[in-house]
Copies of this chain bind each other. A is one copy, B any other.
Amino acid sequence: MYADQNQLKTSIFRLEHFNAAHRLDNPRWDERKNREVFGKCNNPNYHGHNYDLEVRITGPVNPDTGYVMDAKELSGIIQEEVIHRFDHKNLNLDVAAFSELNPTTENLAFIIYGLLRKRIVSTYDLKIKLYETARNYVEYPAG
């Protein structure tokens, strides 16, 4: 409830979920090359995932609240910018950002980062971790 001069910056994390369909494909390549590179992820009829999204905000602790940022407010921003846009959607067909961009986990993280970055005040650092499966996930930006 007070500002301790020794209190360093803190990161807060919020975890949200969405379910989406996608396929991986490079339209400049022929079918054989796409199948060779992307394997079963190239299935023309799509497949899908339960995506887990971890959002990390780093900044000072507000001495009035003891929060870096209210988790409910952060959750609301993620709902508006990410969940409403991607949940129960086909990333290739329903999301404009992927009309020319391959919806890999790496690119999806990049797009999500951009959507959230414009809603989080610039004095806070932002980083996201996106889980496509329990065994494959990415962090953006790295480090």
A58 contacts across to B, CB distance below 8 A? 142-143
A107 to B66, CA, bound (A): 6
Question: Nearest B residue to A72 by beta-carbon distance?
Answer: B39
A48 to B51, CA, bound (A): 10
A14 contacts across to B, CB distance below 8 A? 135-136
- Within 8 Å of chain B (Cβ to Cβ): is A82? no
Copies of this chain in the oligomer: 6
Number of interface residues of A (CB under 8 A): 73
Do B50 and A13 have beta carbons less than 8 Å apart?
no
A61 contacts across to B, CB distance below 8 A? 104, 106-107, 110
What are 16 residue pairs bridging A and B, where the CB atoms are less than 8 Å apart in the complex?
Answer: A4-B110, A10-B109, A10-B139, A10-B142, A11-B138, A12-B105, A12-B137, A19-B49, A21-B46, A21-B90, A40-B87, A47-B89, A48-B49, A56-B139, A61-B104, A66-B107
